Amino acid sequence: MKIFDYIRPASVTEAVAATAQTGAVYLAAGTNLLDLMKVGVARPDRLVDVTHLPGLDRIERLPDGGFRIGAMVRNATLAYDTGFAEAFPMVSEALLSGASAQLRNAATVGGNLLQRTRCAYFYDVESACNKRVPGSGCDALQGENSGHAVLGWSPSCIATHPSDFCVPLAALDAIVEVEGRDGRRDILLDALHRLPGEHPERDTVLEPSDLIVAVRLPAAAAAFASHSRYLKLRERTSYAFAVVSAAAALHLGAGRIAQVRLALGSVAAKPWRCREAEALLVGAEPTPEAFKRAAEIALAEAKPSGHNAHKIELARRILVRALNEAAAGTPAQIAALPASPFSTMPGALAHA
Ligand code: SF4
């Protein structure tokens, strides 16, 4: 049995100080970390419990119309916050499409950003995995890799980032507030997660004592509220990670696209912002043809990392579908368990 310390600091400052020693990690809801500890993938020497730190459980509307979400806000609490859902419906839609109701009630905003990949070889301590043991190899390269990355991968690691929540956050230029040894700083969410390169063991740009304290959505992101969607393709309708997903948000004016935000999920080690596709669409009419051209550009650099070429076509299709649905208008109500985006009937389990 692995022995570890458990510490419950009274403030953010105390929490940061408590992680100064090697082997210390933050514990939030533990919906990922405790699983990793049970199978021996994570073996911390000290758990610093941040779930009760004062001030991290608030959802605040900022004076300029943006929102600041404390890192310990639970996923379900945020998804069902009426003011937040009205301003950023595709973020609520992404939250509600993740995990199960039980997990959404427990999991935190900060923890969601820092969850580890669901690559099966990462969770199996008998397998070679550069992310778990740097330099050991990557059994996924020649293994079961149908769900692995098609963008931004390297021969060191072909894993994907599993979060739904992070995909619309990347599209909407969310900002992550981090408290570290040198004080507080902001990181654009799109810059938080790393591509693997030669160091897949580092998922993010965070330093060991860095604590995520909040996520901010800028007021400008609310301009997309009436034309935005998050769609997720998965192997079953609930409690499943995405095969691919897409966040699409449009700001329309005079029959044309004034602004657009696009990101793909489960295609890379980070949420994948599609900036070239966005540039193509600005000024264009919101037509299916334009959306198809944008999807071609978004996936132009994609290449299979194994038995996963199908993900490239699925990513194209889900991006086109998300854009078409965003152009039609954000639904007045978002179902807690959306049907497959490729179904033809509400609740049907059709496939692409
Ligand atoms: Fe490990 Fe990455 Fe290879 Fe999976 S893809 S086995 S996480 S190195």
Single out the residue of 272, 231, 275, 190 nearest to residue 90, CA to CA.
Answer: 231
119 CB under 6 A from ligand 1? yes
Distance CA 40, CA 43 (A): 6
Residue of 32, 36, 39, 117 to mutate, ligand 1, most atoms within 8 A of C-beta: 117
Q: Whose CA is nearest to atom 2 of ligand 1?
A: 157
Query: Which ligand 1 atom is nearest residue 159's CA?
Result: 5
Top-ranked range on mean pLDDT: pick from 79-83, 98-102, 266-270? 266-270
- Name the residue of 123, 129, 267 to mutate for ligand 1: max ligand atoms within 8 A of Cβ: 129
Angle between helix 288-298 and 310-328 (nearest 10): 140
Q: Which atom of ligand 1 is nearest to the CA of 132?
A: 1
Residue 302 in this model has a pLDDT that exceeds 70: yes
Ligand 1 pocket test, pick from 139, 193, 305 with the greatest ligand atom count within 8 Å of Cβ, gives 139
Distance 309 CA to ligand 1 centre (A): 18
Domain boundaries, the chain: 226-328
Alpha carbon nearest to ligand 1 atom 7, residue? 122
What pLDDT was estimated at residue 159? 98
The per-residue pLDDT for 95 is: 95
Say if residue 341's pLDDT is above 60: no
- Own/partner pairs, 234-242, CB within 8 angstroms, 24+ separation: 234/340, 236/349, 237/337, 237/338, 237/339, 237/340, 237/349, 238/100, 238/337, 239/99, 239/100, 241/118, 241/147, 241/162, 241/266, 242/162, 242/164, 242/266
pLDDT > 50? residue 99: yes
202 CA to centre of ligand 1 in angstroms: 12
Segment among 18-27, 71-80, 225-234, 327-336 with least mean pLDDT: 327-336
Express each pLDDT in 123-158 by its tens digit: 999 999 999 999 999 999 999 999 999 999 999 999
CB atoms within 10 A of CB 17: 14
347: pLDDT strictly greater than 70: no
| Interval 263-275: pLDDT, tens | 999 999 999 999 9
| Mean per-residue pLDDT of the chain | 94
Ligand 1 midpoint to CA 130 (Å) = 6
Report, as an integer, the average pLDDT of 61-85: 96
Amino acid type, 171? A
In the chain the beta strands, taken as DSSP E runs, fall at 5-7, 24-27, 46-49, 59-61, 67-70, 175-180, 183-188, 211-217, 228-233, 244-253, 256-265, 272-273
Q: Which CATH architecture has domain 226-328?
A: 2-Layer Sandwich (3.30)
- From ligand 1's centre to the CA of 18, what distance in Å? 30
pLDDT of 345 reads 42
**pLDDT of 352:** 30
Measured from the CB, is residue 149 less than 6 Å from ligand 1?
Answer: no
How many whole angstroms from 256 Cα to the centroid of ligand 1?
43
At 193, is the pLDDT very low, low, confident or very high (cuts 50, 70, 90)?
very high
Answer whether 86's CB lies under 8 Å from 108's CB. no
| Across 321-349, average pLDDT | 69
